[in-house]
Amino acid sequence: MTTKEAITLFKYYLQSNHRQRTIESYTPLLDRFNAVYSERALDGISPDEIFNFLEELTKNLAKSTRRLRYAQLKAFYNFIIDRCSMDIRNPCDATLLRKSFKVPKQSPHKILDRETVDEMIYKTNRQRDRLILELQARCGLRIGELLNIRVSDVSDRTITLRQPKSGKEEEKAYMPENVSKKLATYMKSKTLHGEDRLFPICYSTARSLIKRLGAKLGINICPHDLRRYSATYASRNGVPLEVVSKVILRHQDLKTTQAYLGKITDSEAIRWMDILHGR
């Protein structure tokens, strides 16, 4: 199989299974790779050639972009090897490449506790701001999803999310009864209708708002910390991982959900052993 044929096959896959922004992200890499190796047999390109290609492609770029291009090329090879049952090793797995484009080890995220989140919500006086916090912390919404919600998307205890991150046409998010009642009251008090956005502010304003509210309690927090808390709180209270993944976070892969959950402490582990088997 030539590189050109492999790239054509991979592009068809991207168009059928991914959103436009993902396709656009892959385009610079695939177009350049095709320009350099178009007529070469894909399994004849050596790891050294891959390394030199990536070095040339990503010179003067940020380290995060360099790692992204490496990860994309590796994903391209993995797809072709799997789809075409090619008996070759992914050249991107070579030691030189893995070390050169290695993702730095990240410290685990600190998971907020319930008392902190509740205090943050209760000390927020503005109705709009409290709802933003609750929809993230209680319902697991991404901040981008939350800011795009329109009145017509809300129906009793459910919210229809348009153009979600998964690439689907829409997804459903679910609210506890008390949150849905607060939201109904909010919409009525603001006389919002139809296609009106519930929270007509931009991402940077929402991020600054949440950071400011957290700072009042002496904590450094960003919007995604509230979504992460939502998943961890549910998991720690016995909600099955499948429900946390598919209903609260709406992930396609359980592995992604597991990465969200905070590290279990010794005291938590002991508490769960007592719950399961008695003291």
Q: pTM for the whole thing?
A: 0.65
At residue 200, the pLDDT reads 94
What residue ranges define each of the domains in the chain, with the CATH number in brackets?
3-100 (1.10.150.130), 114-275 (1.10.443.10)
- Of 249, 222, 234, the C-alpha closest to 164 is 249
At residue 170, the pLDDT reads 86
pLDDT(169) > 90: no
Say how many C-beta atoms besides its own lie within 10 A of residue 136's C-beta.
25
Residue type, 24: E
Q: How many whole angstroms separate alpha carbon 262 and alpha carbon 161?
A: 26
- Of 26, 78, 223, 260, the C-alpha closest to 137 is 223
pLDDT band, very low/low/confident/very high, at 246 (cuts 50, 70, 90):
confident
At residue 138, the pLDDT reads 93
Q: How many whole angstroms separate alpha carbon 200 and alpha carbon 206?
A: 10
43-59 tens-digit pLDDT: 999 999 999 999 999 99
**CA angle in degrees (0–180, nearest 5) for 206-211-216:** 130
At residue 272, the pLDDT reads 62
At residue 128, the pLDDT reads 96
Q: 19-33, 123-137, 241-255 — which is least confidently predicted? A: 241-255
- Give the mean pLDDT of the chain: 89
At residue 251, the pLDDT reads 85
Is 260 exposed, middle or buried (CB count within 10 Å of its CB: 0-12, 13-18, 19+)? buried
pLDDT(274) > 80: no
Q: Between the ranges 10-24, 71-85, 161-175, 248-262, where is the mean pLDDT highest?
A: 71-85
Q: How many whole angstroms separate alpha carbon 144 and alpha carbon 202?
A: 9
Percent of the chain at pLDDT > 70 equals 92
Using an 8 Å Cβ cutoff, are 147 and 132 in contact? Answer: no
198-229 tens-digit pLDDT: 999 999 999 999 999 999 999 999 999 999 99
Using an 8 Å Cβ cutoff, are 234 and 138 in contact? Answer: no
For 216, list phi and psi in degrees, rounded to 5: -65, -25
Residues in the chain: 279
pLDDT(175) > 70: yes
pLDDT(114) > 80: yes
